[in-house]
Homo-oligomer: A and B are copies of this chain.
Amino acid sequence: VGVMKGVIVGIAPNVQIIDISHDVAPQNIASGAWMLASAYRYFPEQTVFVCVVDPGVGSSRSAIAIQAGNRFFVGPDNGLFSYVLAEQTVYAACVLSRSAFHLPQISSTFHGRDIFAPVGAYLARGVGISEVGMPVEPAALQRIDVGQLVRSDRGIDGRIVHIDRFGNLITSIPIALVPMLFSEMPVRMTFPTLNVDVSECRRFFAEGSDREPFIYGDSSGYVGVAVRNGNAAKALNAGFGTPVTLVIGSK
């Protein structure tokens, strides 16, 4: 990763370079997409995000740049930008076809260094997104399932989209959709495939006992399930993709 920064400062010497995370499980696109989703809004406008979770490097997947909202995203066209594409207005997208903005020699295994980093640096220097490649329809870009919600009789159906390093389970259900989460109204999270129900709600981790799993509002902006001083993923035997239903009221 340091090498990518070397490439960037060689092109754009005065740029601020910030690491979002290196904790993405190797080659896990869904996890990388989620981490980007939970972070990008906190960065200033005009930020260029150079993203490398790229198991398909060397295959036929395209390298792309996207202007979404007032920020730029550079990386592989493999679904990594699915949340961004779903949440932001896409002003432009292009395939990185202009080799003048790449390193002179392109390896087959490290496009982060050879293509994404230099293109990102040129964008940060003010080069227009239309200059770095050929336009592509945003609708044609790859997307992964970002856990779209379904409201049913039983409640809101979603799934686990992320497990953080403490083992907390983050669902695809935004806190903003459930204003009654910390009201008097009973709420419970069911895991239909696991035959488990979590009915305790806590505003703060510091509350209550250590053993009991509970529903909480994750700092990412989504509803989560945690065990204080424990690992909810292990305790409930839940994983990435596990379906959940948030049931509101005493049904």
Contacts and interface: CB of A to CB of B under 8 A. Distances in A.
Interface string A108-152: 111001100000000000000000000000000000000000000
A78 to B, nearest CB: 11
B16 A9 contact: yes
Given A21-B2, A26-B166, A110 B219 contact: yes
Interface string A1-34: 1110111011001001111110000100000000
A110 to B, nearest CB: 3
A56 interface: yes
A43 B6 contact: yes
Given A2-B19, A108-B217, A10 B43 contact: yes
A58 B205 contact: yes
A229 to B, nearest CB: 8
A59 B204 contact: yes
Interface residues of A, number: 44
A3 B44 CA distance: 11
B26 A203 contact: no
A93 B218 CA distance: 30
Contacts of A16: 9, 13, 17
